[in-house]
Amino acid sequence: MNILLTGGTGYIGSHTAVVLAQAGHRVVLFDNLSNSQASTVDRLAQITGQRLPLVVGDVRDEALLANTLRDYAITAVVHFAGLKAVGESVANPLLYFANNLHGTIALLHAMQATGVRQLVFSSSATVYGNPHYLPIDEQHPTGSTNPYGRTKLHVEEMLFDLARSDASWHIACLRYFNPAGAHSSGLIGELPNGIPNNLMPYMAQVATGQRAELTVFGDDYPTSDGTGVRDYIHVMDLAEGHAAALQHLGSQPGWDAINLGTGQGYSVLEMVAAFSRAIGRPLPYRIAERRAGDTAACYADASKALTLLGWQAKRNLDDICSSAWAFQQAHTT
Ligand code: NAD
Ligand code: WQD
């Protein structure tokens, strides 16, 4: 297949590019580089032996997207491009509506104009809001607690209506749980700007000495050790989930939503222990107050992905931590 990855030089997009290129697909990257670098193309070439085309542009540029879809005879799109920082979305919701909603509408117009009807959308477990029960299956009620989450939910709903209006669309919304880790080469991974919001990159920066200690947000949750529990999924497993979804999509018209998680939850202290194993010494941390908006536990029922796509996560917590650490070391000067 000829596959366009919007947001293709970003964290999840670049790992998916590796898996798809190595599976023999023709992969084209489209990114405005607002949260990634053009040099990712060089690193992808080192990993795959292929120089993937990169179109630098914004997904709100409908004409550029339509030309790209035509020029490369694209048959399917994976739509990663978007902003993803929850706190920033609360402070600046219009920025998020413009990027994530307007960006998706422009992409859909361009796809409609060029006859491309297969789309995989990067959704998130955030569309479940605060869990009503665990593990979370795809029937769980949806809701959102912040503007970022609302953009994911609104896009999913737009896509649902679109698929219902025109039976030629094939759309899969993949609801990621907590992506973490890096490619085994250490060449690509997650490198947030500024102070990391998320647990894994924060622990990696504590390990390098860039930050003194991890702040553990709350130890009084109703979980095994009192700290928050999440479903951390290796980014290469996630990437393979996209390949499986694209394979499935060709024969599956309509709209569907599928969880991509491991089905296994780990607490913050279990994550600290795993990262300490990866670095070979105890990671310093201190317990603090709960973070506003956090939930006690969130993990997937991942059985639909197995039944429908034949996909399940293969890598474990130690694989996640050791790959994240290798990448962090290679990118710390
Ligand atoms: P990322 O920031 O590394 O990648 C997103 C890419 O999109 C970046 O390269 C950025 O430059 C690009 N981009 C942003 N706005 C754009 C625009 N208007 N036009 C063109 N390019 C644009 O983030 P990621 O972690 O790889 O996330 C990819 C997708 O997965 C996002 O949609 C995100 O919301 C979703 N997601 C991420 C997580 C997570 O924890 N990382 C969890 C669930 C869902
Ligand atoms: C994980 C656990 C924290 C940092 C977020 C978004 C979500 C999704 C993935 C995109 C929690 C604890 C964290 C720290 C800590 N993104 N923690 N100290 O909150 O599950 O999900 O990223 O869709 O929408 O909300 O991930 O990595 O921030 O937190 O103790 O410095 O680690 O309290 O229990 P979260 P996270």
Domain annotation for the chain: domains and CATH numbers: 2-181+232-261+301-314 (3.40.50.720)
pLDDT recorded at residue 332: 84
Tell me the residue ranges of DSSP E strands in the chain.
2-6, 26-31, 54-56, 76-79, 118-124, 170-176, 178-180, 214-217, 229-230, 232-234, 254-260, 266-267, 285-288, 297-298
The Å distance, Cα 200 to ligand 2 centre, comes to: 9
Ligand closest to the CA atom of residue 55 = 1
Contact assessment for residue 77 and residue 121, using Cβ atoms and an 8 Å cutoff: no
Give the SS3 label for residue 279.
helix
Quick check: CB of 84 below 6 Å from ligand 2? yes
**Regions of the chain where pLDDT drops below 50:** none
pLDDT at site 253: 96
What's the 327 CA to ligand 2 centre distance in angstroms?
A: 20
> Do 178 and 233 contact (CB within 8 A), yes or no?
yes
Cβ of residue 230 lying under 6 Å from some atom of ligand 2: yes
Kindly report the number of other CB atoms within 10 A of residue 234's CB atom.
24
The SS3 of residue 190 is coil
Residue 203's pLDDT is: 98
What is the pLDDT, as a whole number, of residue 333? 74
Strand order in the sheet with 229-230: 266-267, 229-230, 297-298
Phi-psi map region of 210: left, alpha, beta (phi>0 left; psi -120 to 50 alpha): alpha
Q: How far is the CA of 8 from the centre of ligand 1 (A)?
A: 9
Q: Is 148 a catalytic residue?
A: yes
**Closest ligand to 218 CA?**
2
Q: Closest Cα to atom 11, ligand 2: which residue?
A: 228
User: Which residue from 90, 230, 235 has its CB within 8 A of the most atoms of ligand 2, so it is best to mutate?
Assistant: 230
Tell whether ligand 2 has an atom less than 6 A from the beta carbon of residue 323.
no
Ligand nearest to the Cα of 97, by number: 1
Length reported for the chain: 333
Out of 11, 96, 128, 148, which one is annotated catalytic?
148
CA of 188 relative to ligand 2 center, distance in Å: 21
Establish whether residue 217 lines the binding site of ligand 2, counting it when its CB lies within 6 angstroms of any ligand atom.
yes
Candidate of 122, 154, 155, 232 to mutate for ligand 1, largest count of ligand atoms within 8 Å of Cβ: 122
Gap between the Cα atoms of 89 and 96, Å rounded: 6
299 CB-side CA count, 13 A = 15
CA distance 242 to 311: 9
Nearest CA to ligand 1 atom 9: 10
Helix or strand or coil: residue 201? helix
Ligand 1 centroid – CA 13 distance (Å): 8
Ligand 2: centre distance to CA 246 (Å): 28
Question: Which of 51, 2, 53 is closest to 26 using CA atoms?
Answer: 2
Looking at ligand 2, which residue's alpha carbon is closest to its atom 14?
199
Index of the ligand 2 atom closest to the CA of residue 152: 23
* Residue-level pLDDT at 193: 85
The pLDDT value given to residue 149 = 97
295 C-beta closer than 6 A to ligand 2 = no
Q: What is the CA radius of gyration of the chain?
A: 19
* Model confidence, pTM: 0.98
Ligand nearest to the CA of 129: 2
Give the position, in ligand 1's atom list, of the atom nearest the Cα of 81: 7
